[in-house]
Copies of this chain bind each other. A is one copy, B any other.
């Protein structure tokens, strides 16, 4: 598809060949770029089953079918939950389970795009700074594509998350410092060696990969768009991508409305919400973040201006939920739908629970952005205990009575 890049801050339009990642005038923090297309071809049928996100290449800044990753990215299930919708007072509820991606998170949609763009440029090493899903996703998809990945993490990152990167063969540089220092170092070193950058905040194409989550959901729903879309928010790119996906579909006349988009943050990491509520979108509020939802525990969000602008356009807003609400949402979502989410993945459901009265009779889609297997430890304190018995029928029956099972 033919496209241009436009600065979200000053509005200047660039030819893709003339800029690298962000607006040279407005800089990394405010001057993130958006990908704008001249026009979309008329397409109605998409081969989601075989191509995953590349079924939507007519909406993406790549040549069709040319730079596919040899793993099936996207084509994740969407579930209609009638009983739960009724229970919450909604007209309809849809759950999009992106924990079913190859490396078990929404981030695979962005990493696939990074690999496609790196291949287009003939670059075989891709880097990022991340402790979490962006890193595992990049290392897994790079391995599948026989490309190299270099991951910069703060040295405090949990061993299990680092192990996954090493399994995929990534080079992992643990930086004895903060996430921000790891980020800055990654940009310096990546730049020096001419590697391709998979830091979501600065690379405009990653959001295009992510927007396939919204496009895919819309297609799966036969273009019948819910009133409200909810998703968790850390840096702000996923929530922006949801808007962008629906917005591009509207431009292509495949849908006629964009849902109200509600971004859900963790209370201890609600920097985007604070900026949004201040009304001064180009003066981002930074905080010291903490939350059990590590994938969205971001203190200095890197794509805040875009997120605020897009969500305002959709008529939506940002809300925040406590770690307790997130933990309970993991358990309730698993029990009511069978979808086991990591903390950041269940944050959308926690948000829905919190404001369900405001959303009465509306149709809602929630995006589950990561699989619960990524972080079993966080949920431990939110579940019941096991019942331990001797191998004896009477003891077992006592325990089953205690548990309310008989």
Q: Which of B181, B189, B337, B390 contacts A177 (CB 8 A)?
A: B390
* Listed stretches A2-10, A14-22, A98-106, A196-204; interface member: A98-106
- B104 contacts A171, CB within 8 Å? no
A253 at the interface (CB under 8 A from B): no
In the assembly, how many copies of this chain are there?
2
A45 adjacent to chain B (CB < 8 Å): no
Give residues of chain A (360-389) contacting chain B, Cβ–Cβ below 8 Å: 371-374, 376-377, 379-380, 382-389
Q: Which of A333-359 contact B (CB under 8 A)?
A: 334-340
With the chains together, A292 CA to B218 CA distance in Å? Answer: 43
How distant is A95 from chain B, measured CB to nearest CB, in Å?
10
- Interface pair A387/B172, CB less than 8 Å apart: yes
In the complex the two chains form, is A334's CB within 8 Å of B396's CB?
A: no
Q: What is the chain B residue whose CB lies nearest that of A77?
A: B72
Interface stretch of the complex, out of A155-163, A231-239, A259-267, A271-279: A155-163
Per the bound structure, the CA–CA distance linking A159 and B385 in Å amounts to 11
Binds B, one of A244-252, A310-318, A397-405: A397-405
B residues in contact with A383, CB < 8 Å: 163, 166-167
Q: Does A26 contact B (CB under 8 A)?
A: no
| Minimum CB distance partner of A397 in chain B | B189
**Count of A interface residues, CB-CB < 8 Å:** 88
A340 lies within 8 A of B386 (CB): no
Q: List 27 A-B contacts (CB under 8 A).
A: A70-B79, A70-B337, A72-B77, A72-B79, A100-B102, A102-B339, A125-B405, A143-B335, A144-B339, A162-B386, A163-B379, A164-B373, A166-B383, A166-B385, A167-B330, A167-B334, A168-B340, A171-B387, A172-B387, A173-B387, A173-B403, A175-B391, A176-B388, A188-B393, A189-B393, A189-B400, A193-B406
Using a CB–CB cutoff of 8 Å, the interface residues on chain A facing chain B are 48-49, 69-72, 75, 77, 79, 81, 83, 100, 102-104, 125, 140-141, 143-146, 148, 150, 152-153, 155, 159-160, 162-164, 166-169, 171-177, 181-182, 184-185, 188-189, 192-193, 330-331, 334-340, 371-374, 376-377, 379-380, 382-393, 396-397, 399-400, 403-406
